[in-house]
Amino acid sequence: MAEPVKVPDNGAGEHARGLFLVLEGGEGVGKTTQWTRLADTLRAVGHDVVAVREPGGTAAGDAIRALLLDPASELAPESEALLFAASRAQLVRDVVIPALGRGAVVLVDRFLLSTYAYQGAGRGLAESSLRAVNTLATQGVAPDLTLLLSVPAEVAQARLEVRGPADRMEQEDASFHQRVREAFDAALAADWQAAHPEIGPVMAIDADRPVDVVTVRCLEALVAQWPVRFASAATAALSAL
Ligand code: T5A
């Protein structure tokens, strides 16, 4: 059972600076669906939302994304990790830091936790190496909250089969994806989070529910941490059900 998440008070008050929110989880859990819905819901009640995905979110990042996901790309694990970090570095410098500086809500589909899960647990690269490279990439910017979506493996698989051809990462075998899932689960433990301040707090969201219900759960998680900022968004989402 995951420990309850306590987001540290940044001391600046709820509205005084931007918020950096991340959606994470294995393939097919519904992150991208919720990323779109959360961005739309928050914008509809007046929030300045910058929604970007990793890898990608900049011109350089989108080119790197195409290389990383192309099944024809032959990449060593180290090259793969450096390319994810390169995309992240561009995104943080060009998009995340400026948006946080003007007080926006930055909503990212995947971030550094994915590197620990896929390149660390999945590929077997040392976490210390990944941390070092990504300290350069993130400039020390850590998420305020990560919502970790999860569904049973067979549910994710069924969703992906409906969606179409698998990309380079999705083509990895079942044991790779099992290690990735276990790494995400491990990130829910309080002692893991205490040892990984660069990830920030991680909260579990049961995503094996209808799309609308998962959206409400995500919004409720935000309201629990920042009640003033997000109450009207949650009310709007609930009334639309
Ligand atoms: N990666 C990424 C790394 O290895 N290291 C890193 O550091 C980073 C940042 C990115 C790949 O790169 C890897 C991880 C990934 O393998 P991607 O295309 O962005 O590639 O892959 P994902 O983020 O995994 O996106 P997916 O689209 O594959 O999965 P999602 O976003 O979890 O799922 P989504 O929302 O697209 O939904 C999948 C299907 O399920 C349906 C949707 O309609 C869709 O058809 N669905 C639901 N159906 C029923 N009920 C619900 N609640 C549903 N929610 C969605």
Domain of 99: which CATH number? 3.40.50.300
Q: Is residue 106 part of a domain?
A: yes
Instruction: Please tell me the distance from the alpha carbon of residue 27 to that of residue 12, in angstroms, as a whole number.
Output: 35
- Enumerate the H helices of 92-200 as residue ranges: 97-101, 112-114, 127-138, 153-163, 174-186, 190-195
pLDDT at 149 over 80: yes
Instruction: Please tell me the distance from the alpha carbon of residue 18 to that of residue 143, in angstroms, as a whole number.
Output: 11
Each residue's pLDDT tens digit, 214-239:
999 999 999 999 998 998 877 777 77
44: β partners: none
Report the predicted TM-score, pTM, of the whole model to 2 decimal places: 0.93
Mutate to test the pocket of ligand 1, among 27, 123, 146, 216 (most ligand atoms within 8 A of CB): 27
Count of domains in the chain?
A: 1
pLDDT at 160 over 60: yes
Each residue's pLDDT tens digit, 88-124:
999 999 999 999 999 999 999 999 999 999 999 999 9
Q: How many CA atoms lie within 13 A of 235 on its CB side?
A: 7
Q: Is residue 2 part of a domain?
A: no
- Enumerate the H helices of the chain as residue ranges: 31-44, 59-69, 77-91, 97-101, 112-114, 127-138, 153-163, 174-186, 190-195, 211-225, 227-239
Residue nearest to atom 52 of ligand 1 (CA): 211
Q: Is residue 56 part of a domain?
A: yes
Nearest ligand 1 atom, CA 33: 35
Which protein residues touch ligand 1 with a CB less than 6 Å away? Answer: 25, 27-33, 53-55, 69, 84, 109-110, 114-115, 118-119, 159, 162-163, 167, 169-170, 207, 209-211, 214
Residue nearest to atom 23 of ligand 1 (CA): 27
Which residue segment(s) compose the domain that 177 sits in? 19-239
Q: Is residue 121 part of a domain?
A: yes
The fraction of the chain above a pLDDT of 70, given in percent, is 93
Q: Is residue 10 part of a domain?
A: no
Cα angle vertex 207, ends 172, 30, to 5°?
A: 50
Q: Is residue 150 part of a domain?
A: yes
pLDDT at 182 over 60: yes
Rounded mean pLDDT, 147-165? 90
Q: What is the pLDDT of residue 16?
A: 53
Over the chain, what is the mean pLDDT? 91
Q: Is residue 9 part of a domain?
A: no
Q: What is the pLDDT of residue 233?
A: 78
Q: How many CA atoms lie within 13 A of 195 on its CB side?
A: 9
Q: Is residue 1 part of a domain?
A: no
Mutate to test the pocket of ligand 1, among 24, 31, 161 (most ligand atoms within 8 A of CB): 31
How close is the Cα of 201 to the center of ligand 1, in Å? 21
Q: The tokens of 219 are what?
A: 């919004």
